[in-house]
Structure 1
Amino acid sequence: MAKKICMVVAYHPFLDARIFKKEAKSLQKMGYDVTMIVPRKKGHLFDIDGTPIKDRFRHKIFTHEGIKIITYHSESARTPLNKVLNDEVVWENQGFNNPLTQLAMKQDADIYHTHEYLSLFAGIGIKRLMKKRKGKDVKLIYDSHELIPDPLSPSYTEEHRKNLQEKLFLMLDEVDYVITVSESIKSWYLSHKPDLPVEIIYNSPPLARSYKPKAYDTDGLTVCYEGNMEGKKGSREKMIGISDICFKKFNFRFKVIGGSRFGDSLEIPHHLEDVIKLNGWVDYHTIPAHMKDADVGWIDLEDVEQSLNLAYSLPNKFFSYLNNGLPVIVNQSHAMEAFIRKHQCGFVIGKKEATPADYADALLSLQQDKQRLKRMSQNARQVMERLYSWEKMEERLLYVYQQLEK
């Protein structure tokens, strides 16, 4: 009988690229029986841009692409899950009595795979109660997409940060394997817990099979941005500023795949409507087709010095650009800068806080040196083929699960 896996999710959308489209689908392909426990908000599941899904997935339990989905109301789980901040004596009576923990336990799985700080807490409840009530030893994975709490973020008081971190270290003592998304985050965990088993599974996509090397034989330049563009995330004002400078100097286009989230809007100045193209949110598997006419991928991380998560970030879009042969242009940030310099697959602005003029100068320089762009593009694709594609990450994911089965 196939080993039963239960993905435990506190706030990500159930169609999340990492959780559903890559990890859950890969485990299913490997022969595991995969179930996901996922949250509804105000009664609805929600799409990757935050839009409530009202026309489908209405049943509490359903199967999607061969994976069993069990839903719960996130509002009913919030208060008990937040008991993680209380003393440990409160956990079993008040914290573990939440729908996420209780529904997951009913699946009687062999391995529980959690994805957030609060779902990790739910997982601790699963592990303890399964042993206490059923005498069953289950394995627990913490898939740490980022560091919670962020050791540098000013959004925490020192007291709150200390409490969160103390509870994290307490929970990690019961985790069987940590999966994370960058070498820097792995190093942070091992600096605090040297014996903790940690594997890096990058946020990389499957190799784009329709990829064709870019010729860079035209006089123009198209910059691509993939993902959310709201508030500071996505730096919409910088995108507009870059476009405003560049289109006056050379044949320039800015292409956005994704954009604003539900309840938000992305307004483009009238004089840039022919310069900035908004593709909207597209199916995950069609992203390579949408990137075929782009030349460079853009990432701007603001307030890097106030967030270790940003400094350590290697986001989905970073690998998506590389997968499609797009050199990445980015401001100074520890992990991406180290990667780009090592593999010569992009351009790093020499500032932590880069301005639209800084990016525009760099893009003008690249547009005038197409051979350099071509070399970086080739390096980008080659490093994905050799080391970082999701096919390579699948091998790491399988290794983690095989270790837990021993």
Structure 2
Amino acid sequence: MQQTSSKPHVCMLVLQHPFTDARIFKREAISLVKLGYQVTLVVPRNRAGYMYDIDGTPFTDRFLEQEFVHESVRVVSYTPRMPQQAHMDKAIRNGSHIYFEDPLYKVGLAQEADIYHAHEYHSLYSGIGIKRALKQLKGKSVKLIYDSHEITEGDKVPILKRMLPEVDTVITVSDAMSVWYNNALPSLPVEVIYNSPPLSDTYAPAPAAKDTFVACYEGYMHKDKGSSDKLFGITEICSQSFDFRFKILGGKAGAPIDLPAAVQDRIELCGWVNYKDIPKYMSDVDVGWIDYDIQASTTPLNYSIALPNKFFSYLNNGVPVVVNNCPEMARVIRKFDCGIVIDHATPTAAHYAECFDQLRKDRKRLQVLSENARNMMRDHFCWEHMEQRLGRLYDGLAQQIVGSPSS
């Protein structure tokens, strides 16, 4: 099952994401294969021993082997175990590999790759152990990338900061996140690679006239982001005044959304949509809705500094984004005039309903926002641009590896 390549062997370390994750597999791993790298993905199985999809649905009829190749990416699976904080701290402080013993460390070490790419705080820990072990046991110098999808908080921060000096490059998903890492360790190279999809080839400008106004929510629903109660409230208010529909793309296996009787015929539950089919589902959508509670005491810092998948998914299809005053999303929207920021930390359903009604009445403004959204993706943010960044980063690391074919 070994791939052949003229470039270094890349091993991606994953502890908490499904192997089909849009960023990890469909974008980064596939792009690296396209760029000529040999890619191995080390990923977890669920408690029942199955690989699982984005929404948690287990693959019970395929991907049953411990090791297999999928879309030219070599996948090695394992049974995960989360390392404990106290043990992590002890292992990191020790300076050697001797206290590393978690399953991801063991499976990742066995790959003997040239570049390791960790996707979570805990998989970075395993990557540190692998990097040390290969150097101390085999005299092999490898490169380590930390792909920070979100900002680590709480009691994990001190351990993270002790790990960062052993990282060769950090990748973040927003400019605000890169500032956090630059402040944590100014000498650390940081690259921003947005969570953006390939440019949609089915985009059509928003119509000048349309009877039904369609809003969309993409992703999981949670009380702190994409509150179902707020979505139901928006739908009920809007439907009293005009022909309104809310389309929900996403959800979680085994967790159906119960629709109140008053809005059942106004909300379309699409379930989890295939990554490549999203443009089709977005074709009649007028606005994308994002609502993060950025004031709750338990609110993660990520809500303020995030540029999530759904944000770029909307914009990629020429769908303007309506969002509450989340600083990083608000900054991008205002810079490119590609949506509406409700200048309120916790807007009510009535606030959103009023915004939707205003956009419905001003189709020319909605058209401008739609065109700006599409243009910003085409010119700056789409995955085609991100793939170039990823390639430059990897080629630079490859040239630093002693004895690599690219050096």
Q: TM-score scaled to structure 1, two decimals?
A: 0.93
Question: Deviation of residue 95 (structure 1)?
Answer: 4.5
Is the Cα contact below 8 Å between 2:219 and 2:250 reproduced in 1? yes
Of 387-396 and 268-277, deviating more is 268-277
Is the Cα contact below 8 Å between 1:72 and 1:99 reproduced in 2? yes
SS at match of 2:68: strand
- 1:223 paired to 2:215: yes
- 1:37 paired to 2:30: no
The 3 A distance-change label for structure 1 pair 384 and 141 is same
Q: Distance in 1 between matches of 2:103 and 2:348?
A: 46
Question: Deviation of residue 191 (structure 1)?
Answer: 1.2
SS at match of 2:166: coil
Give the aligned partner of residue 73 of structure 1: 79
Give the aligned partner of residue 257 of structure 1: 249
Is the Cα contact below 8 Å between 1:101 and 1:126 reproduced in 2? yes
The 3 A distance-change label for structure 1 pair 263 and 231 is farther
Amino acid aligned to 1:213 = P
Deviation by residue 1:65-105 (Cα, 9 ceiling, x = unmatched): 1111101111xx22468721346456857751122111111
Deviation by residue 1:343-392 (Cα, 9 ceiling, x = unmatched): 00000111101110110011111111111000000000000000000000
Question: Deviation of residue 7 (structure 1)?
Answer: 0.5
Amino acid aligned to 1:362 = C
- 1:329 paired to 2:335: no
Give the aligned partner of residue 15 of structure 1: 20
Question: Deviation of residue 307 (structure 1)?
Answer: 2.8
Question: Deviation of residue 220 (structure 1)?
Answer: 2.4
Amino acid aligned to 1:393 = M
- 1:62 paired to 2:68: yes
Q: Distance in 2 between matches of 1:379 and 1:312?
A: 22
Is the Cα contact below 8 Å between 1:82 and 1:95 reproduced in 2? no
The 3 A distance-change label for structure 1 pair 213 and 298 is same
The 3 A distance-change label for structure 1 pair 82 and 224 is farther
Deviation by residue 1:221-241 (Cα, 9 ceiling, x = unmatched): 100111112443321111101
Give the aligned partner of residue 342 of structure 2: 349
Select 1:310's aligned residue among 300, 303, 307. Answer: 303
> Unmatched 5+ residue regions in structure 2?
1-5, 400-407
Q: TM-score scaled to structure 2, two decimals?
A: 0.93
The 3 A distance-change label for structure 1 pair 60 and 80 is farther
Q: Distance in 1 between matches of 2:58 and 2:317?
A: 30
Give the aligned partner of residue 313 of structure 2: 320
Q: Distance in 2 between matches of 1:274 and 1:395?
A: 44
Give the aligned partner of residue 269 of structure 1: 260
Give the aligned partner of residue 175 of structure 2: 183
Deviation by residue 1:248-298 (Cα, 9 ceiling, x = unmatched): 110100001112x12312011123121000111111011001100111110
Is the Cα contact below 8 Å between 2:92 and 2:163 reproduced in 1? no
Is the Cα contact below 8 Å between 1:81 and 1:96 reproduced in 2? no
The 3 A distance-change label for structure 1 pair 304 and 380 is farther
Amino acid aligned to 1:83 = H
- 1:101 paired to 2:93: no
Q: Distance in 2 between matches of 1:58 and 1:272?
A: 41
Q: Distance in 2 between matches of 1:93 and 1:206?
A: 39
Give the aligned partner of residue 193 of structure 1: 185
Amino acid aligned to 1:107 = Q
> Unmatched 5+ residue regions in structure 1?
150-160
Give the aligned partner of residue 48 of structure 1: 54
Give the aligned partner of residue 114 of structure 1: 118
Q: Distance in 1 between matches of 2:142 and 2:256?
A: 45
Give the aligned partner of residue 372 of structure 2: 379
- 1:290 paired to 2:296: no
Task: Report the aligned-residue RMSD.
Answer: 1.6
Q: Distance in 2 between matches of 1:179 and 1:122?
A: 17
Q: Distance in 1 between matches of 2:46 and 2:124?
A: 20
Q: Distance in 2 between matches of 1:87 and 1:60?
A: 28
- 1:207 paired to 2:187: no
Amino acid aligned to 1:50 = G
Q: Distance in 2 between matches of 1:278 and 1:82?
A: 43
Q: Distance in 2 between matches of 1:242 and 1:364?
A: 11
Give the aligned partner of residue 153 of structure 1: none
Of 2-11 and 79-88, deviating more is 79-88
Of 43-52 and 4-13, deviating more is 43-52
Give the aligned partner of residue 155 of structure 1: none
Amino acid aligned to 1:392 = H
The 3 A distance-change label for structure 1 pair 33 and 87 is closer
Is the Cα contact below 8 Å between 2:91 and 2:99 reproduced in 1? no
Give the aligned partner of residue 404 of structure 2: none
Select 2:140's aligned residue among 136, 140, 145. Answer: 136
Amino acid aligned to 2:115 = I
- Runs of 4+ aligned residues of structure 1 deviating over 4 Å after TM superposition are 89-95
Deviation by residue 1:142-176 (Cα, 9 ceiling, x = unmatched): 00000012xxxxxxxxxxx2x42121111100000
Q: Distance in 2 between matches of 1:301 and 1:274?
A: 26
